[in-house]
Amino acid sequence: MARTPLIAGNWKLNLDHLEATHTVQKLAWLLRDAKHDFADVEVAILPSFTSLRSVQTLVDADRLEVKYGAQDISAHVSGAYTGEVAGSQLAKLGCDFVAVGHSERRQYHAETDEVVASKTKAAFDNGIIPIVCVGEGLDIRKAGDQVSYTLAQVDGALAGLPADRAKDVVIAYEPVWAIGTGEVATPADAQEVCGAIRGRLAELYDAELADGVRVLYGGSVKSSSIAQLMAEPDVDGALVGGASLDPEEFAKIARFRAHQVGL
C-alpha cells in the first residue's frame, strides 16, 4: 500500500500568533506549487494553542493546503482541569493532527503510557489524528535496547485501540538523544526501529493495517538529512522541531523528493 508521506513541524513553545501567521504564509508561498508540492505529501504544522485560531482563519480564507494541529490534548472531555485543552475544542478549530506523548511531555509533565493511551483515544473521539511519539533515551540506546523499549511504548499508547482507529494513527519514532541535539539518527538506525514498529502493528492488528500506517522519524531532521531518511522503506515522513521554524528550511524538507535524485 502506498503511504502518503507526512512532514509535520512541531513548533514547541515558539512564535506568538502574529509570528505563526507570518510563518504559515511564508511556508504556503514557498510551497505555492500546490499541484507539485502537495501531490503526494502532506505538510502540517503544530503551533501553540494560542496560534491555532489565527492559523485556522488563514488556512481557511486562503484555502491553503497546509494542515495543522496541536502539540497536546487533554485526556479529559471537560470539567475542572485548569489549563487543559479538550479534543472538542481542538476539533472546533479544525485541527487535523495532535502530537501525543512527545518526549518533552513525558519528561517534564510525567506523562505515562496510560496517559498517552487516554490522549490517543481523546484525539480519535474528536476526529483528530494523533501523532503518537515514542523513542528511547541515550542510556537505553547505549544498552542496545531501543527496539524493545520503543515497542513497549507503542503497546502502551495503543492499548485498547480498535483496528478501525489504529489504521489512521501516525507513529513518530523520536529517539530522545536526537531531539534538539543536532545528532540525527542514521537512516539505518531510523529504519531499524520504524520497521520494528510496523512489525509490532502487524502483530497487534494485521499486516494490511500495519502496511497502511505512517511511521515518521523525528530528531534533528534537516533538509540535508531528509532525503536519505525518506529512502528507508519504513520511514514515511518526519516530525521536525527546530528546522520547522524556518519556512525556507521546512519547505526544503517537505520537498525531499527534489533532493533524492542521485542518492
Q: Does 247 bind ligand PEP (CB under 6 A)?
A: no
- CB of 58 or CB of 194, closer to ligand PEP: 194
Please state the closest distance from residue 257 (CB atom) to ligand PEP, in A: 20
Q: Which of 42, 136, 174, 192 is catalytic?
A: 174
Minimum CB distance to ligand PEP smaller for 166 or for 240 = 240
Which CB, 105 or 255, lies closer to ligand PEP? 105
Residue 122 CA to its chain's centroid (Å): 16
Kindly report the backbone phi and psi dihedral angles of residue 145, in degrees, each rounded to the nearest multiple of 5, phi listed first. Answer: -100, 20
Three-state DSSP state, 190? helix
- Cell 540535508, located at residue: 224
Is 254 a binding residue for ligand PEP by CB under 6 A? The answer is no
Contact positions with ligand PEP (CB under 6 A) in 170-189: 174, 179-180
Q: Using CA of residue 256, residue 49, residue 52, residue 69, what is the dihedral sign?
A: positive
Q: Largest alpha-carbon pair distance within the chain?
A: 56
Of 42, 102, 111, 232, the active-site residue reads 102
* Nearest residue to the partner ligand PEP, using Cβ: 241
Whole-angstrom distance, CA of residue 92 vs CA of residue 126: 9
Q: Is 20 in the site for ligand PEP (CB under 6 A)?
A: no
Rule CB under 6 A: say whether 219 interacts with ligand PEP.
Answer: yes
Residue closest to 131 by CA, chosen among 39, 257, 7: 7
> Least CB distance from residue 201 to ligand PEP, whole Å?
21
Does 95 engage in binding with ligand PEP (CB under 6 A)? no
Residue 140 beta carbon to ligand PEP: minimum distance, rounded to whole angstroms: 17
- Binding-site size for ligand PEP (CB under 6 A) equals 13
Look up 174 and say whether it is catalytic. yes
Beta bridge partners of 130: 98
Task: Select 209 or 251, whichever has its Cβ closest to ligand PEP.
Answer: 251
Asked whether position 239 contacts ligand PEP by CB under 6 A, the answer is yes
Q: In Å, how far from its chain's centre is CA 111?
A: 17
Q: How far apart are CA 181 and CA 241, in angstroms?
A: 11
Identity of the amino acid at 20: A
Contact between 28 and ligand PEP by CB under 6 A: the answer reads no
- Give yes or no: 102 in active site: yes
| Residue span 126-165 as binding mask against ligand PEP, x where in contact by CB under 6 A, dash where not | ----------------------------------------
Which segments of the chain does DSSP mark as H helices, in order? 17-30, 34-37, 49-61, 87-92, 103-108, 113-125, 138-142, 146-158, 163-166, 187-204, 207-212, 226-230, 247-254
Catalytic residues: 102, 174
Query: Where along the sequence are the contacts to ligand PEP (CB under 6 A)?
Result: 10, 174, 179-180, 218-221, 239-243
